Amino acid sequence: AISKKAGMIPLQMELGGKDACIVLDDADLELAAANIVKGSFSYSGQRCTAVKVVLVIESVADILVKKIIAKMSKFTVGAPEDDCDITAVVSE
């Protein structure tokens, strides 16, 4: 129905359970960078669904990497009670 009219092609990708984020060249790169960082580091990255692989179109890869680095450079690392971004999940 709609997929035939839109010319959509069914596609299944096996990514090995690596929780990939796919970024195309028409993506909002600021939004993509924010979601990649959030998806990678929420709960200090200690969750099974954390983003582990980013597949990005080469023409926007350098821009995306710069945006991700800019966001990550603002992270603080330390104890949870210090309201840090990256903390230990287990203390013992």
Q: Amino acid identity, residue 23?
A: V
Output phi, psi for 7, to 5 deg.
75, 25
SS3 state of residue 29: helix
Average pLDDT over residues 57-71: 97
SS3 state of residue 52: coil
The catalytic site residues sit at 14, 48
Residue 87: pLDDT band (50, 70, 90) is confident
Average pLDDT over residues 47-59: 90
Q: Is 62 left (phi over 0), alpha (psi -120 to 50) or beta?
A: alpha
Residue 27 pLDDT: 96
Interval 21-52: pLDDT, tens: 999 999 999 999 999 999 988 877 777 788 99
pTM: 0.74
Cα radius of gyration rounded to whole Å, the chain:
17
- Report which secondary-structure segment, H or E, holds 22: strand 20-23
